[in-house]
Copies of this chain bind each other. A is one copy, B any other.
Amino acid sequence: MSVESITAPETGKRERAKAQNRDAILDAARQVFAELGYETTSVRDIIRRTDLASGTFYNYFKSKEEVYHALHDDGIQRFRPLLRAAREGAHDFEAFVRAAYLAYFRYCATDGAPRFVRMQDPAWTQVRFDTPETRALFDELKTYLVDFLSSQGLGGVDPDYFTAGCMGVAERLAERMMARNDTGPEDAADFATAYTMGGLKGVSA
């Protein structure tokens, strides 16, 4: 019996299989949501993409909504460290803003469908849930922004609206960035940073 098996007695085959299955379901769900859209996707569609049996789905998730949330929250949990790193690496406001936007656009470009979009003619469907994770991300960003603002004597700016404005810019630019071929995360981050720092004056400079 190895030391390993003492320190991690729970990591037997069964546990590994469980984690693998859960991940297999999440992966399949990510794909199917991206292809069919959230609404059109059924639980069957998801499990058909795995080599698991239908009943197995219900050992891991209660419903399609629950997988969606898990996926969504996973996404946010992967992004939050990036945001935190942007915060920690940045020593002035503009550097933070740029790093945060860049992190987000890169994340969107590389990470599987951050928003599950059915990109088929004639319509795509986008579903957004407001979960605790979503709100926590919003709040984390707000905190960072407020810190910088108050350190610069800009306490008068409405922090809620400012945070919302930044997120709106990020979301919509990400959407355009991914629809276009002539531009990537760096361009988008440059634009978004200029817009956020100086508005029209910033972007036209």
Determine which of B69, B149, B170, B202 lies in contact with A199 in the assembled complex, contact meaning CB atoms within 8 Å: B202
CA distance A183 to B93 in the complex (A): 27
* A173 in contact with B180 (CB, 8 Å): no
* Chain A, range 118-171, C-beta contacts under 8 Å to B: 122-132, 149, 154, 156-158, 160-162, 164-165, 167-171
Query: Are B199 and A176 closer than 8 Å at their CB atoms?
Result: no
The answer to whether the Cβ of A79 comes within 8 Å of any Cβ in the partner chain is: no
| Cβ-based interface call for A65 (8 A) | yes
Cβ A200 vs Cβ B93 within 8 A: yes
A62 at the interface (CB under 8 A from B): no
Q: Please give, as numbers and ranges, the residues of chain B lying within 8 Å of A93 by CB-CB distance.
A: 200
Is B199 a contact partner of A201 (Cβ separation < 8 A)? yes
Closest-CB distance, A203 to chain B (whole angstroms):
5
Q: Is the CB of B195 within 8 A of A198?
A: no
Taking the closest CB of chain B, its distance from the CB of A188, in whole angstroms, is: 7
User: Could you give 12 example pairs across A and B, Cβ below 8 Å?
Assistant: A39-B39, A125-B129, A126-B126, A126-B129, A156-B204, A157-B204, A160-B176, A161-B191, A161-B192, A162-B195, A168-B171, A169-B169
Chain A residues with a Cβ under 8 A of chain B? 38-39, 65, 69, 93, 122-132, 149, 154, 156-158, 160-162, 164-165, 167-173, 175-176, 180, 183, 188, 191-192, 194-204
| 15 other A-B residue contacts (CB within 8 Å) besides A65-B123, A168-B171, A199-B202 | A122-B132, A123-B129, A123-B131, A125-B128, A126-B127, A126-B129, A128-B128, A154-B204, A157-B200, A160-B176, A164-B172, A164-B173, A165-B168, A196-B200, A199-B199
The 8 closest A-B pairs by CB, nearest first: A168-B172, A168-B168, A199-B199, A164-B172, A198-B199, A126-B128, A154-B204, A164-B176
